[in-house]
Amino acid sequence: MMERLRQVLPPIVEKIIKDREQIESRTRKRADFALLSGGARVILHLTSSPYIEYPNGLIKKSVARFLGRGIIRTKQPEIAISSDNNVGNCYCFRGATGHVAIELSRFIEVSSITYVHLDPDLAFEPKDLRSAPKDFEVWVIRDGNMHENREQYNTEALLLGRFSYELGGPSAQRFEVNYEGKAIPVVKKVLFKVNSNWGEDKYTCLYQIKVHGRVMSR
């Protein structure tokens, strides 16, 4: 029995590694129009505020506010459109719902979205992955279609799709947009809206959002 396991397990492990490499290789080969270094930017007034945690207790909290010490501050949203996906290089917002608005580097027809979370092999503990997004939506933002109140956007905004990130899958997962015969809009702004995470109550963390498509002139 043990000899049989020794013969079977190495090919299985090798296949898993090759499958992951192939998926991530295909993702890397697609141009990312949401990349910060490529000219994209986060639209801050349409993005959830970064997570901040104060000490427990009214007095400790007041002292922390006054001295600026003992406060846990997470990174700014721009980290979610950078390519450094090491431990802790993520943008977090309070709770399980929130959103990031991105102005892309070009006007494009969006064809797919890639979300990249921390590779499970790099996590210090399995519980560190519970803050990953689970169910999310991708919207197209057109000027005048979204209010500065971060929670309100009208029906003229276009929903590109609802997707789910699988925690047990590869760290980089691509989601294709299906327009189902509808006219494909040319856009420069998108909204990544998280509706749930994988079990963390305090916050949700985003490592990298990629937006792919075809460049169009305006």
Residues 97, 151 contacting (CB under 8 angstroms) = no
d(CA 39, CA 155): 29
Domain residue ranges in the chain: 1-30, 32-215
CATH architecture of structural domain 32-215: Sandwich (2.60)
* Core vs surface per residue 163-179: b (16+ CB within 10 A) or e: bebebeebbbbbbebee
CB count in 10 Å sphere of residue 123: 14
d(CA 131, CA 128): 7
Q: Which two tokens stand for residue 116?
A: 């990249």
Question: What tens digit of pLDDT does each residue of 104-146 get?
Answer: 999 999 999 999 999 998 888 888 899 999 999 999 987 654 4
Closest by Cα among 119, 121, 127, 148 to 207: 119
Evaluate if residue 157 carries a pLDDT over 70.
yes
Eight-class DSSP state of 74: P
Evaluate if residue 169 carries a pLDDT over 50.
yes
pLDDT of residue 9: 55
- Cα–Cα distances (Å) from 53 to 100, 162, 202, 216, in that order, read 20, 30, 9, 43
Of 153 and 121, the one with more pLDDT: 121
Residue 72's pLDDT band (cuts 50, 70, 90): low
Q: Which pTM was predicted?
A: 0.77
Paired sense of beta strands 98-116 and 172-176, if any: antiparallel
